[in-house]
Amino acid sequence: MEQFDVVVIGAGAAGMFCAAQAGQLGCRVLLIDNGKKPGRKILMSGGGRCNFTNMYIEPAAYLSNNPHFCKSALARYTQWDFIELINRYGIAYHEKTLGQLFCDDSAQQVVDMLVKECELGQVTTRLRSEVMSVEKSGHGFELALNGEKVSARSLVVASGGLSMPGLGASPFGYKLAEQFGLNVLPTRAALVPFTLHKPLLEHSQALSGVSVPALVTAENGTHFRESILFTHRGLSGPAILQISSYWQPGEFVSINLLPELDLLGFLNEQRLAHPNQSLKNTLALHLPKRLVEFLQTLGQLPEATLKQLTTAQQATLAENLQNWRVQPNGTEGYRTAEVTLGGVDTKALSSKTMAVNAVPGLYFIGEVVDVTGWLGGYNFQWAWSSAWACAQAV
Ligand code: FDA
């Protein structure tokens, strides 16, 4: 049986970074993945340019049953530490918006960097490798892989969540957690587009491809001001993906389609200047024409000129446009979700090292843990920070 100090399961963002760091600290590390390539999600991320971190990382941008859990790791290995690594490799990057940092060229550069870091740590990588079983032994763990057995003092589970099964996502990490008596909190697709109920869906399909800046608010009051996108399945765009993490089935979301505008003031101004202008053409000064027509087919805009518009109609209009209440039918699910909410309950883990307190040598890092970030580089930063914290301890 081949012996290692550390076996890391999952060659994604967290697993590769942890393996590289542990290797560079002198551990003999085996990194295994069921896929034929490492870092498959990194390659797909950020539209192929990998939004690898965010300049404004803060614990408040993470959802977890224990909102304090992420603090220690994020403080010990920060976005600035990762940016320093990116700089060291000469990878050019830019801020797209809201502190989100993307490669100028390609996400492949981040994967290549992590592969190089693993080489520096003399990490042994086995791809297309399935873990058939994991047993606790006197000195650590014994793993049966397809075709061989290996043992290690420490076992790091970095097998990710359930989003995008096409990219290798599996419930492996949750099952292993349960095998060792850990609680796994219910999982849910997050950072995911909404699907809509039939009548609204049919209307909105006509708008497919239209994107507008909006303020979207969940029933618990959480809100995001970014764009929304109409799609042939429902609603997407950054503001919708963000709010999906805070939405529960059956709930409504409120969409303000004119978040920057004092609508009543604008209508009064326009009425004085152009009393015979139609409401439709007036609103088209601030909203895409197709969207205005869509709102009219939904019965949310009266067919009137500005001088015909009554005070009551104006108030209803403001409500319809600035507090448009939509009840999603559901989400597109794990097939298109960027992340998985829930997962391994942090109660069982050390926030400093990601170690399972009750099982010496066992660690969980990255998305498999019940820590989920906002859209915008927050999830990769959690992967890097939790991996680094773990690597110092294995
Ligand atoms: P990750 O899922 O990356 O890796 C897990 C690895 O474990 C996979 O390689 C998988 O094959 C392997 N594995 C699973 N089961 C196994 C088993 N039984 N045996 C062996 N191996 C197994 N975040 C962000 O911050 N910025 C961004 O731009 C994006 N963009 C983005 C786009 C898309 C399309 C998706 C799906 C996701 C994002 N994300 C993102 C989220 C980000 O990709 C995610 O949070 C991290 O990849 C999580 O890293 P992990 O290493 O924890 O899991």
What's residue 202's pLDDT? 87
SS3 string, 294-338, reads HHHHCCCCCCCEHHHCCHHHHHHHHHHHHCEEECCCEECHHHCCC
241 pLDDT above the threshold of 90: yes
Mean pLDDT of 9-38: 97
Phi (first) and psi of residue 29, to 5 degrees: -115, 135
Residue 14 — φ and ψ, nearest 5°? -65, -45
Residue 35 confidence (pLDDT) above 90? yes
CA–CA gap between residue 387 and residue 39 (Å, rounded): 14
SS3 content of the chain, % helix, strand, coil (to 5): 35, 25, 35
Q: Token digits for 45?
A: 């991320």
74's CB contacts (< 8 A; 6+ apart) are 57, 59, 381, 382, 385
How far is the CA of 378 from the CAs of 55, 99, 221, in angstroms? 9, 10, 21
What is d(CA 276, CA 305) in angstroms, rounded to the nearest whole number? Answer: 5
pLDDT for position 299: 84
Mean pLDDT of all residues belonging to the chain: 96
Nearest Cα residue to 243 out of 167, 160, 170, 341:
341
Distance between alpha carbon 322 and the CA centroid of its chain, in Å? 27
pLDDT at site 177 = 98
Quote the ligand 1 centre to 146 CA distance (angstroms).
22
d(CA 211, ligand 1 centre) in Å? 27
CA 133 to ligand 1 center in whole angstroms: 22
| pLDDT at 208 > cutoff 90 | yes
- What is the mean predicted confidence (pLDDT) over 179-201? 96
Q: Is 90 exceeded by the pLDDT of residue 364?
A: yes
Model confidence at 262: pLDDT above 90 = yes
For the chain, percent of residues with pLDDT exceeding 90: 93
Distance from Cα 147 to the centre of ligand 1, integer Å: 25
CB distance 12 to ligand 1 below 6 Å: yes
In the numeric block, which tokens belong to residue 268? 């009064």
Say which residues have a Cβ less than 8 Å from residue 47's Cβ, sequence separation at least 6: none
Q: Are 64 and 346 in contact (CB under 8 A)?
A: yes
Is 383 touching ligand 1 by the criterion CB < 6 Å? yes
What separation in Å is there between the alpha carbon of 13 and the centre of ligand 1?
A: 6
Q: Is 33 in the pocket of ligand 1 (CB under 6 A)?
A: yes
Question: Which atom belonging to ligand 1 lies closest to the Cα atom of 159?
Answer: 7
What is the band of 204 on the pLDDT scale with cuts at 50, 70, 90?
A: confident
| H or E element, residue 187 | strand 184-190
Rounded Cα–Cα distance for residues 283 and 276 (Å): 14
Q: What is the pLDDT of residue 94?
A: 98
Sequence-distant (≥ 6) Cβ neighbours of residue 250 within 8 angstroms: 327
Contact 238 CB / ligand 1 (< 6 Å): no
Nearest CA, atom 14, ligand 1? 159
pLDDT band with cut points at 50, 70 and 90 for residue 175: very high
pLDDT, average across residues 141-154:
95
Whether pLDDT at 200 is above 90: no
Alpha carbon distance 51, 381 (integer Å)? 10
Q: Which helix (H) or strand (E) holds 151?
A: strand 148-157
Reply yes or no on whether the pLDDT at 271 is more than 90: yes
Q: Mean pLDDT, to the nearest integer, of 354-380?
A: 98
pLDDT by residue (tens digit) across 296-328?
888 888 899 999 999 999 999 999 999 999 999
Question: What pLDDT score does 139 carry?
Answer: 87
Q: Residue 86 above 90 pLDDT?
A: yes
Phi, psi of 169 (to 5 degrees): -60, 140
Kind of pairing, strands 124-126 and 234-236? Answer: unpaired
Q: Where does the pLDDT of residue 255 fall: very low under 50, low under 70, confident under 90, or very high at 90 and above? A: very high
Q: So what's the pLDDT on residue 328? A: 97
CA–CA separation, 295 vs 371, rounded Å?
38
Distance 334 CA to ligand 1 centre (A): 12
Q: What is the pLDDT of residue 279?
A: 96
Q: What does the alpha-carbon distance between residue 378 and residue 161 come to, in Å, rounded to a whole number?
A: 15
Task: Select from 393, 332, 343 the least CA-distant residue to 366.
Answer: 343
158 lines ligand 1 (CB under 6 A): yes
Q: What percent of the chain has pLDDT over 70?
A: 100
Confidence (pLDDT) at 306: 96
